[in-house]
Structures are given as structure tokens and as C-alpha cells.
A = this chain, B = another copy of it.
Amino acid sequence: MTSPAASAIPVHEARPLRADARRNRERILKAARAVFADQGIDAQIDDVAKRAKVGVGTVYRHFPTKEQLLDAIVREHFEAIAEMARGALEAEDGWTGFCQLLWSAAERNAADRSLCEVMSARDKSDVVEECGLAAMTSELMTRAKAEGTMRADATPLDVPVIMIGVSAVMQTLPGEEPWRRYIALMLDGLRAS
């Protein structure tokens, strides 16, 4: 996206940020990642600002809305999960890859409260689509079904259902045990009998 011939850039492709602004933007994102991860989506912008050692106004200049700041971070997460999916596609077989993806995605969720809250409360299928996650998951499932390791009636729609569930479990029941158990049950439910 930063290539020399950045010619046909869409709509408002602003001039580069001033050095201090660029620096602050990074600090804000970093702070927000940390704050949202451990306070959840109800964390306050003031806290983010404080942690970034920046005034609230500055946060708002970079992200006009709390929602937008949160969104930026959620996208990063999905991006990361999409990366995991790419890894899962390298697995020796579809079922293994599928399991690997669910486990690692859940693991990431477990480390971030806001992610759990967002996943279990808002439908993010658009983001999932955009970052290619939908397609990769679908591919993984197609393979697994072809191999006969996944029940034939499983559908890509089962994945959000599962992720929403784990996310909720993580928020409500503390500890690793419950959500791991949950994923295990679900995978058993999806395995071909």
C-alpha cells in the first residue's frame, strides 16, 4: 500500500502525518491495545489517553470516536487470526488445520477481554469476510469433509456460532478449563461419527 507509485489513491488519502502526530498515533494504539485487553470495551478513553501519556483531545483527533478506536483494534485482531488461518491451511489435513485454527483463535481471544466482548456481542461477519477469514475457514472445512473427518452437514456458519460461544464462556467463567472444555466438546460435535 505504500509503494512509490501511490498514484490512484482513493478519496482523502491525506498528506503524511507530522512526525509527532505519527508517534502519538502509535502510542495511542499501543495503549488502547493494553487497556481494552484488560478492561474490556467499557474501558474509558481517558484511561487510554493517560496510558499513552497524551491528552484526550489527541486521542480524539486520531480516532474521532471511541467506536472507531475500538474498531481499529478489533481489525488488528481479526487480521492476526486470518494469519493463523493461513498457517492452518498448511497443516497435513483439513481436520487438523481446522482444529488448529479454532484452538489458536480461541487462545488469542482468551488473552483479550475486549475481543471476547466484541465477538460474543456483535456480528463481525463483515470484517471476517474482508480479511479473508471466511474463505479460508470454508476451504478448511471443505477439505475436512472430503477427507471424511468432519460431519457432512457442518457449515462455515458453525464457526461464528462456536466462537461466539467460547467468547461468552471466557467472560463469564474464569480460568482456562471452561473454555478449553467448550472447544473440545464442540469439535467432538463436529467430528464425523
> A residues within 8 Å of B by Cβ?
120-123, 157-158, 160-162, 164-169, 171-173, 178, 181-182, 184-190, 193
Contact = CB atoms under 8 A, between A and B. Distances in A.
A40 to B, nearest CB: 11
A160 B185 contact: no
Given A120-B120, A186-B186, A193-B193, A181 B158 contact: yes
A169 B158 CA distance: 11
A88 B189 CA distance: 23
Q: How many copies does the complex hold?
A: 2
Given A123-B173, A172-B121, A165 B182 contact: yes
A121 B181 CA distance: 18
A107 B122 CA distance: 21
Contacts of A186: 185-186, 189
A163 to B, nearest CB: 10
A120 B165 CA distance: 9
A169 B163 CA distance: 9
A186 B187 CA distance: 9
Contacts of A188: 188-189
A186 to B, nearest CB: 6
A123 B172 contact: yes
Given A185-B189, A193-B193, A120 B160 contact: no
B161 A164 contact: no
A181 to B, nearest CB: 6
B161 A169 contact: yes
